[in-house]
Amino acid sequence: MFLVVPMIVAALSYSVAAAEVFAGCFNPSVININAIFPRSYNTATITCPEVCRRLSSPQDTYAYSRISTVQPNTSLCWCTTVQPDAAHLIADSSCPYPNLSAELVRPPPNWGWYKCFDFLAQGPANNFTVQSLPECLTACSTYPNAYFSHLDNSNNMFCACYQRGPPFTTDQCGVGVYYHYYHSFGPSEFVKRRISGFEDGEQGRGLCPSGLSACRIKDGDDYSFELPDHAWYHHEQRHMHKGTM
């Protein structure tokens, strides 16, 4: 197994098959919490998106949740097709009380979310307008990375599809900052050869921060790296010792 994702995501070595993706942190006015019946759930045993799925919620349902102040280990969940309004977006991803965490319950297949990235003044290349987060992820289905943003408070939503992951990330996911979503892919032959070199004591040729191991993607741009999945590597080694390669 192998991921073509940002360098910092080395720990995410599993296949992406997310049943929901983070859509942002919003103040309580993003939905009418008095008109939508809230479900109370134990955060140790279930998630808000799973609560919504068990209610057979429609395809474009969003799960809004926040910690309950009445019972410990309990949160409240609101399931609705109301799309988050950027006017209520909070520049955070931890969503402290009383703010609501919004998650898209059934995103297009095989997408996961990992923090945010600020393109600053230059902006992403070839970005385009979309009407929703699902539309962005669907449009980027043939790319390993998708960037989605509310560029202002008027619900102008933009999307960009990239081969590269962000060179750094931020937890401050607010207006004008791009949410980063990613696919998982199989290892390239280049990285298989790179991993083989580890046993020979080969020194890393690619640049990598904080002592992580990463390989520059052949013919890639300055931000393009592949992260060897050591779980995949050890799995292959076990098969080699058994003579099953």
| Residues 209-230 pLDDT 10s | 444 444 444 444 444 444 444 4
Task: Indicate the range of 34-43, 160-169, 221-230 predicted with least confidence.
Answer: 221-230
State the Cα–Cα distance between residues 51 and 105, nearest whole angstrom.
10
Angle at 31 between CA 27 and CA 32, to 5 degrees: 115
The one-character DSSP state at 55 is T
The closest alpha carbon to 25, from 94, 98, 80, belongs to 94
Which tokens hold the place of 13?
Answer: 């070595």
3-state secondary structure of 224: coil
Q: What is the pLDDT of residue 194?
A: 42
Output the CA–CA distances (angstroms, integers) from residue 208 to 7, 98, 159, 214, 225, in the order listed: 7, 39, 27, 6, 9
The closest alpha carbon to 18, from 107, 115, 136, belongs to 107
3-state secondary structure of 106: coil
pTM above 0.85, yes or no: no
Q: Are 129 and 152 in contact (CB under 8 A)?
A: no
Please, which pLDDT band fits residue 151 given cuts at 50, 70 and 90? confident
Mean of pLDDT values over 117-146: 90
Phi first, then psi: give them for residue 206, nearest 5 degrees.
Answer: -85, 160
